[in-house]
Amino acid sequence: DAGITQSPRYKITETGRQVTLMCHQTWSHSYMFWYRQDLGHGLRLIYYSAAADITDKGEVPDGYVVSRSKTENFPLTLESATRSQTSVYFCASSLQGLLTGELFFGEGSRLTVL
Amino acid sequence: GENVEQHPSTLSVQEGDSAVIKCTYSDSASNYFPWYKQELGKGPQLIIDIRSNVGEKKDQRIAVTLNKTAKHFSLHITETQPEDSAVYFCAASRGGKLTFGQGTILTVHP
């Protein structure tokens, strides 16, 4: 039971570079999410997806792009990384969505932008 | 939008003591309140949740209470153990959007 996996777990990049964080889930959950975790801010929603080819903005979407061509994958791309995007990124999935459904989180991807 | 405030930011207790973490929310239409526990190096995991039509819910050593009038909800952990040491997040959901609190670092000393 692989669950939800993120890659890479650690990434160091430079300002202006493009970075893609991968997320893969094996449960066939309809909903997938990307959060960033920063000290003092808790978890903030970047983007979410209710199904393949359906995505929507969360609380902090600027500077990020997502796609969902397959139900099991939900990559997050930083098109031109900035230092303010240094953070720990969590992918999550859910059967029922945000309304009343449990979120299952991956182990996180720690991104450092120099 | 919804705003969730969580206190305290850090909490240190002795093994066997109780721990209480409190959250307030701003949107009276919020109707689902989960609590997540995050261990070091891991993603958060749901430990308990409560819906707005319930005032209290208990699961072994953990319980959550909800006061809709005052717009606050709390997590209670009794008989704490060292393995309870983690970061705890509260959250509130309204209309399909989940807003998290800032997190509480709980340390249980043996």
Residue in A closest to B30 by C-alpha: A99
At position B73, the amino acid (one-letter code) is F
The pLDDT mean for chain A works out to 92
Contact B43 A107 (CB under 8 A): yes
Residue-level pLDDT at B1: 77
d(CA A24, CA A27): 10
* pLDDT-above-70 percentage for chain B: 98
Lowest mean pLDDT of A9-18, A80-89, A91-100, B4-13, name the range: A91-100
Query: Looking at residue A57, what is its pLDDT?
Result: 93
Query: Cα–Cα distance between B86 and B94 in angstroms, integer?
Result: 26
Q: Which residue of B has its CA nearest to A39?
A: B102
- Residue A1 above 60 pLDDT? no
Contact state of B43 with A108 under an 8 Å Cβ cutoff: yes
pLDDT number for residue B64: 97
Share of chain A above pLDDT 90, in %: 78
Q: Which of A42, A22, A37 is nearest to A86 (CA)?
A: A37
Subunit contact A107:B41, Cβ cutoff 8 A:
yes
pLDDT above 80: residue B87? yes
Q: Do A105 and B44 touch (CB under 8 A)?
A: yes
Q: For A22-51, how does the pLDDT look when each residue is reduced to its tens digit (9 = 90+)?
A: 999 998 899 999 999 998 889 999 999 989
Task: Report the alpha-carbon distance of residue B60 to residue B45 in Å, rounded.
Answer: 17
Distance from CA of B54 to the nearest CA of A (A): 14
Average pLDDT over residues A9-22: 97
Q: How close does chain A come to B6, measured CA to CA in Å?
A: 10
Tell whether B27 lies on the interface with A, counting CB pairs under 8 A.
no
Query: What per-residue confidence (pLDDT) applies to B39?
Result: 96
Q: How far is B72 from chain A (nearest CA, A)?
A: 18
Supply the pLDDT for residue A41.
86
Q: How confident is the model at residue A74 (pLDDT cuts 50, 70, 90)?
A: very high
pLDDT at A32 (0 to 100):
92
pLDDT at B92: 93
Q: Compute the mean pLDDT over every residue in chain B, rounded to the nearest whole number.
A: 94
Chain B contacts of A45, Cβ < 8 Å?
97-98
pLDDT tens track for B25-67: 999 999 999 999 999 999 999 999 998 888 999 999 999 999 9
Backbone angles phi, psi at A21, to 5 degrees: -105, 130
CB B58 within 8 A of CB B76: no
B43 contacts A90? CB cut-off 8 A:
yes
**Could you give the dihedral angle defined by the CA atoms of residues A85, A86, A92 and A97, in that order, rounded to the nearest 10 degrees?**
-30
Contact B43 A106 (CB under 8 A): yes
Residue-level pLDDT at A95: 83
DSSP, residue by residue, A19-86: EEEEEEESS--SEEEEEEEETTTEEEEEEEEEETTEEEE-SS-TTEEE--SSTTB--EEESS--GGG-
Q: What pLDDT sits at residue A62? A: 97
Interface residues of A toward B, Cβ cutoff 8 Å, are: 35, 40-45, 58-59, 90, 92, 97-100, 102-103, 105-108
Q: Which of A8-17, B23-32, B90-99 has the lowest mean pLDDT?
A: B90-99
